[in-house]
Amino acid sequence: MLNNKSILITGGTGSFGKAFVRTVLEKFPEVDRLVIYSRDELKQFEMSQVFNDKVHKGIRYFIGDVRDQDRLRRALEGIDIVVHAAALKQVPAAEYNPFECIKTNVLGAQNLIEACLDSKVQRVVALSTDKAAAPINLYGATKLCSDKLFVAANNIQGERGIRFSVVRYGNVMGSRGSVIPFFLDRRSSGVLPITDARMTRFNISLQEGVDMVLWSIENAEGGEILVPKIPSYRITDVAKAIGPECRQEIIGIRPGEKIHEEMITASDSFNTVDMGDYYAILPQAANYTFAEYCERRGGKPVEPGFAYDSGSNPDFLSVEQMRELIESHVIGKSID
């Protein structure tokens, strides 16, 4: 799939970018070029200590910002596939600096779309977030707007053959700013703060996210928002898994935070296809019909009014399952 192809990943020095590069090099050793595009030269330097032209002759580091369309055009020369992971993601920072978030997440998305249309790129996969479904904070609103831009870009592809699609999933297990590393740091105090005892979240590992993007590169027809079927967990169960002896202290929900993660709203149900491991939210305007897509992909429409959120998800992880996942995916050793 990716052998002899040139790939660019925006925001490529983040956790996802590192895992994506590692996976591509392992699975597709004949990949032509892997271009890591980001604006932080220190992170690029640190990443280049692990991934460099000694590891693979096609590794390249390109300093640039998605706000700079000219720089994007230069970086996209000779690129076949783009993975868009660059974004401003911190909810409080977005609320305090709203237009800075808009410039990166919305205007940056449109810059990338236009630069891809002006180049010979064939596939674009943009990373989204659960917060884009029925958003209640600015970050979620900007990602919803970004999703709409990437979906609509398929309407102006002309004769280019380029396909734009979106992958939407929630917080990655153990990622920076998530609750698991926070609890691991705080358990020695004997108290773990819980915002709301009812709170649930979806659970996805970094590798599962990478694998889904690779699947999308190969299989997406353009215009879909792809959502994985993944288990949920209760925040109180995570606390029990990490600090079974710790006292749980309820501190109240934070601004812009939901009790449950949403990935498909009831309003989306009329355009959503169940594809087995994934759901696909189809665009209302596309070069294929709903029935054609289902027939080609072997999918079936979900029930009208169907919604997919971490609270109503039938698949929940137990305390012991959470403990095993944290040990294997986050800290690499026994919690005890």
> For 85-122, what is each residue's pLDDT tens digit?
999 999 999 999 999 999 999 999 999 999 999 999 99
The rounded distance, in Å, linking the Cα atoms of 130 and 228 is 11
pLDDT at 285 over 90: no
pLDDT at 334 (0 to 100): 59
pLDDT, averaged across the chain:
94
- Residue 246, C-beta contacts closer than 8 angstroms, at least 6 positions apart: 187, 189, 190, 191, 192, 239
- Percentage of the residues of the chain whose pLDDT score is greater than 90: 88
pLDDT at 333 over 60: no
- Residue 166, C-beta contacts closer than 8 angstroms, at least 6 positions apart: 125, 126, 127, 128, 147, 150, 151, 224, 225, 226
pLDDT at 173 (0 to 100): 87
Catalytic-role residue among 5, 18, 89, 131: 131
- Other beta carbons within 10 angstroms of residue 326's beta carbon come to 22
Nearest to 247 by CA among 236, 258, 262, 256: 236
The rounded distance, in Å, linking the Cα atoms of 153 and 136 is 25
Based on the residue annotation, tell me whether 300 is a catalytic residue of this protein.
no
* C-beta separation of 223 from 154 below 8 A: yes
Q: Average pLDDT of 280-307? A: 92
The torsion defined by the Cα of 2, 207, 21 and 279, in degrees rounded to 10, comes to: 50
The rounded distance, in Å, linking the Cα atoms of 68 and 73 is 9
- Residue 235, C-beta contacts closer than 8 angstroms, at least 6 positions apart: 179, 194, 195, 196, 197, 199, 200, 201
Q: Average pLDDT of 62-84? A: 98
Question: Residues 125-134, buried b or exposed e (16+ Cβ, 10 A)?
Answer: bbbbbbbbbb
pLDDT band, very low/low/confident/very high, at 336 (cuts 50, 70, 90): low
The rounded distance, in Å, linking the Cα atoms of 71 and 195 is 42
pLDDT band, very low/low/confident/very high, at 291 (cuts 50, 70, 90): very high
Q: Average pLDDT of 183-188? A: 93
Determine if residue 86 is left, alpha or beta; phi over 0 gives left, psi from -120 to 50 gives alpha, anything else beta: beta
Q: Running DSSP on this structure, what letter comes out for residue 171?
A: P
- Other beta carbons within 10 angstroms of residue 29's beta carbon come to 10
Half-sphere exposure of 162 (CA within 13 A, CB side): 27
Q: How far is CA 127 from the centre of its chain?
A: 4
pLDDT at 98 (0 to 100): 97
pLDDT at 238 (0 to 100): 96
pLDDT at 129 (0 to 100): 96
pLDDT band, very low/low/confident/very high, at 171 (cuts 50, 70, 90): confident
Which residue shows structure tokens 């309820």? 250
pLDDT at 23 over 90: yes
pLDDT at 175 (0 to 100): 77
pLDDT at 157 over 90: no
pLDDT at 164 over 90: yes
> For 29-66, what is each residue's pLDDT tens digit?
999 999 999 999 999 999 999 999 999 999 999 999 99
Question: What DSSP string describes 251-314?
Answer: --PPTT--SS-EEE-GGGGGGEEE-SSEEEE--SS-SS-HHHHHHHHT-EEPPTT--EETTT-S
pLDDT band, very low/low/confident/very high, at 254 (cuts 50, 70, 90): confident
pLDDT at 24 (0 to 100): 97
Q: Average pLDDT of 304-324? A: 96
Q: Where do the domains of the chain lie, and which CATH numbers do they carry?
A: 6-170+205-229+263-308 (3.40.50.720)
pLDDT at 16 (0 to 100): 93
Q: Which of 195-199, 218-222, 251-255, 300-304 has the lowest mean pLDDT?
A: 251-255
